[in-house]
Every structure is written in C-alpha cells, then in structure tokens.
Amino acid sequence: MSRLRILHISDVHFGQTDRSGNRWRLRHVLGKAWRDNLAALSNDGVPDIVCFTGDIAFSGKATEY
C-alpha cells in the first residue's frame, strides 16, 4: 500500500518586521531550523502534495510577494 505524503506550510507572513525593522520571522522561522527540517523531510522522499495556506504576506504589499 502506498502512502500519500503531504507537506503543509502555513502563515509565513513574508515581509513582517519587528519594531526595529528586523525580519525576525525570516531569521527564526525560515532560518536554520527551516533548512534542517526540509533536509530531514527530503531524506524520506518528495512530498506528493504541498499545501501553502494562511497568510503568505504580512500586509499584502507588492514587495512582500
């Protein structure tokens, strides 16, 4: 029996910065831990479906996409 592999990514809020203008989400959410998790997932094969849900951009500005 084959299995269906789904990778679900949600609410990355590209473009979000903290009060000092730092892209904290890019550093903390999409930083080393993100790369390590993707490497671990890829060792088990390619997902069949990738679902990207939630807020992709922080405020919907063109520069965030």
Distances in whole angstroms, Cα of residue 29 to Cα of each of 4, 15, 47, 58: 26, 13, 20, 14
**pLDDT tens across the length of the chain (65 residues):** 778 989 888 877 776 666 666 666 566 666 787 788 888 888 888 889 999 888 877 777 787 77
Query: For 2, which DSSP code?
Result: -
Distances in whole angstroms, Cα of residue 11 to Cα of each of 1, 43, 44: 33, 24, 24
Cα(34)–Cα(40) distance, rounded to whole angstroms?
A: 10
pTM of model > 0.75: no
